[in-house]
Amino acid sequence: MAQKKTNTKKTSEKSQSTISKIQVVGPTDETNGAQILKFSREGNKNPLTITPGEYLDVGEEGDISQDEAQLLLNYSRWEVREVEDGKVVNVVKAAKEVKD
């Protein structure tokens, strides 16, 4: 009898390394009363409604693209953390003005 070869699909290392997570901590100014962030996405994609404490997968098969993740990380009104393997890699906070 002839044996059948089975093809197994493997995820490439490149696509695995591009997927990471970000955590949306919440507004940098706790007194502003914001409970959600309505994030406009690239192209024709529907906007995301993001809540504090939410984790988003980043990458081709994730919740948001790499470019969208970078926009969130650079957004000055909400604290966003880059997370890998459950550890915080990068925390971006808006600079708070010092008032006399």
| pLDDT tens digit sequence for 6-52 | 444 444 444 444 558 999 999 999 898 899 999 998 888 899 999 99
Residue 81 maps to a domain:
yes
What's the pLDDT band for 85 if we cut at 50, 70, 90?
A: confident
Residue 48 maps to a domain:
yes
Question: For the chain, give me the number of helices (H) and strands (E)?
Answer: 2, 6
Residue 68 maps to a domain:
yes
Residue 25 maps to a domain:
yes
pLDDT for residue 19: 52
43/38 Cα distance (integer angstroms): 16
Residue 40 maps to a domain:
yes
Tell me which residue range forms the domain holding 59. Answer: 19-92
Residue 98 maps to a domain:
no
Domain count for the chain: 1
Pull the structure tokens for residue 65: 């693209």
Residue 9 maps to a domain:
no
Find all residues with CB under 8 Å of 15, minimum gap 6, and list them. 59, 60, 61
What's the pLDDT band for 88 if we cut at 50, 70, 90?
A: low
Residue 30 maps to a domain:
yes
